[in-house]
Amino acid sequence: MLHKEIFSDKRTCERVSKTFAVTYEIMSYPFGSKKKTDQKERRIANSFNLSAGGIGLITDENLFPKQILEIEFVLEGKEKPIAAYSLVRWSNCDDKTAEYRAGIEFLAIKEKDKNFIKELVK
């Protein structure tokens, strides 16, 4: 029988299911991609969860692990938008909706914004 630790959740932060609009810009593309990083444009996604360490996104395009994103979103009770440089950890397609779900880790985020999210998640 397989051990429980093999399937343990690697998340280190508490999460909350939360849906809101997120804008993002892809800062890096996978090696060998025909797209160039100088083709910058803001895109819109929706969140499906949030933690102080990252965010879950629903997009209409496939994001690739190790891509760097610049993301921005507004949370209720916060005057200014939260901005962060982030790393795509995983992405997969939902066969029923043809949308993509991606796990995004915050790489660089203001400490006060991270603390705001921690309080929101509690």
Please name the helix (run of DSSP H) or strand (run of DSSP E) that holds residue 41, with its range, or none.
Answer: none
**pLDDT tens-digit map of 52-82:** 999 999 999 999 999 999 999 999 988 899 9
User: Is 24's pLDDT higher than 70?
Assistant: yes
Alpha helix positions (H), 1-122: 111-121
Domain assignment present for 6: no
Q: What is the C-alpha separation between 4 and 6, in angstroms, rounded?
A: 5
**pTM beyond cutoff 0.75:** yes
Of 109, 110, 54, 66, the closest CA to residue 91 belongs to 66
For residue 72, is it within any domain?
A: yes
Instruction: State mean pLDDT over 18-27.
Output: 93
Distance, in Å, from the CA atom of 115 to the CA atom of 74, rounded to the nearest integer, reads 15
Closest CA to 100 of 116, 88, 113, 108: 88
Tokens of 15: 């999460």
Residue 67 lies in a domain: yes
For the chain, how many structural domains are there in total?
Answer: 1
CATH number of domain containing 24: 2.40.10.220
Mean pLDDT, the chain, whole residue set:
86
pLDDT at 13: 73
Q: Which of helix, strand or coil describes residue 67?
A: coil
The answer to whether residue 35 sits within a structural domain is yes
Angle at 68 between CA 111 and CA 49, to 5 degrees: 60
Could you list the residue range(s) of the whole structural domain that residue 114 is in?
Answer: 15-121
